[in-house]
Structure 1
Amino acid sequence: MLYEFLAASGVLALLTMVPGPDMAVVTRRAVAAGRGDGLRTVAGITTGLLVWGVLSVAGLAAVLAASATAYTVVRLAGAAYLVVLGVQALLAARRGRRTEGTAEPLAVPPPAGHPWRTGLVSNVLNPKIAVFYTGLLPTLAPRGLSPHTGMALLVLVHAVLTVVWLGGYVLLLSRARAFFARAAVRRGMERITGVVLIGFGLKVATAQ
């Protein structure tokens, strides 16, 4: 059972470390608004994972995974949200450029919306988590445990890995705060994360 648990944890670690919309959202919040906002965004993302975990253990997420219509609705809603975040980033960079030469120390305004809610919504509207939790996660659960217990354990492991990985990433970004505080750098990061978020949104919208 220990070997199966370690193998499952390894798969979850790889899933966590692969760059995706979560990292793009965290990058924007941490760079534009600081470590506190970045960590609160990570907390929102982790809460979203736990929501999907509860739904998966309860069997409700399987309905979404099995229904093409439900999956499409959530997928398009999630894609639209990512595109909106991306457009907001591009507009923020544009507004920041217009304030050049003013007395403001930072020319790019902070992102709109509460960071925790931003992380939560971006993750809850990611139907691929539901598909992963209902399709692959049950096969990774240690056989020595009941299905529900095994699933719950792996969901908690995934949540912990997410906090450690994305939280560490935020702390790394905060160490370079002075660099990212430069208006030109922040505008550039807003443009990059804006394009990346829109790209992820289009990718999610066209995924089958």
Structure 2
Amino acid sequence: MERRASNSAKLSPGSRSDGVLVTFGSACGLLVHAACAAVGLSALVMSSAHALTVVKILGGIYLIWLGVTTWRSARRGINATRRVRWRWRLPWAQFGGFGQGLWSNVLNRKAASVYLTLVPQFLTSSRPIAPQIAALAIAHVVVVLVRLLFWTSVVAAARSAIDTPRFRRGMSRLAGAVLVSLGIRIATAR
């Protein structure tokens, strides 16, 4: 019984293991953008004002949803947060932290912009484009993994020092307000 309880604690939302899953999901989201850039789909989305607007609005709505649920979890306390998570499920919530990281990055129009504006500066037209994009994407993913895994470890280590109900409520309210304001800004940006 003890082993089963410790395994479920490792995979609980907010744990170090969940943070690692979010990190790998984010990295896979970058690979999606790289693959789209390699086949030209990102260029199509960026050149189409309507497609870019849809991606922008979806990303904004997602941030607003995260902000509202974060704010609500602060008001209701930690036990109510677990109930809210099950009631307010996104389609990819069944994939846990990995799905959250993946879709957060796939819906991030700035990640697509990196592969359309920055990456072409490092490409050589005399060589095949897809392998060059793949090499740059791998370098990008490695940098992102190192950075996010470092911060996951820092936050996990600091968690015991700041894991009080009052601190959690304050941070949830602050994070919720920031996410809602970012979502509104992104959804209404021209």
Q: TM-score range by the shorter chain?
A: 0.7 to 0.9
Count of residue pairs the alignment pairs up? 168
- 5+ residue gaps, structure 2, are 1-12, 86-92
TM-score norm. by structure 2 comes to 0.80
Give the C-alpha shift of residue 131 in structure 1: 2.3
1:70, distance to aligned residue in structure 2 (A)? 0.3
Farther-moved stretch of structure 1 (166-175 vs 130-139): 130-139
Bigger share in helix: 2
Match of 1:51 among 26, 32, 50: 32
2:21 paired with 1:40: yes
Q: Counterpart of 1:81?
A: 62
Match of 1:157 in 2: 139
Instruction: Note the C-alpha offset of 1:192.
Output: 1.8
Whole-Å separation in 2 of the counterparts to 1:126 and 1:109 = 26
Alignment-derived partner of residue 186 in structure 2: 204
Once residues 171 and 107 of structure 2 are traced to their aligned partners in structure 1, the CA distance between those partners, rounded to angstroms, is: 24
| Cα distance in 1, alignment partners of residues 175 and 126 from structure 2 | 43
Match of 2:168 in 1: 186
Which one-letter code corresponds to 1:169 in the other structure? W
Q: Which runs of 4+ in 1 moved over 4 A?
A: 142-145
1:66 maps to which of 31, 47, 51: 47
1:93 aligns with 2:74: yes
Kept after mapping to 2: 8 A contact 1:45/1:123: yes
Matched, 1:125 2:107: yes
Secondary structure of the corresponding residue to residue 163 of structure 1: helix
Larger deviation, residues 132-141 vs 160-169: 132-141
1:16 corresponding residue in structure 2: none
Give the AA of the match of 1:109: T
**2:154 is aligned with 1:172:** yes
Deviation at 1:108, TM superposition (A): 6.7
The equivalent of 2:128 in structure 1 is 146
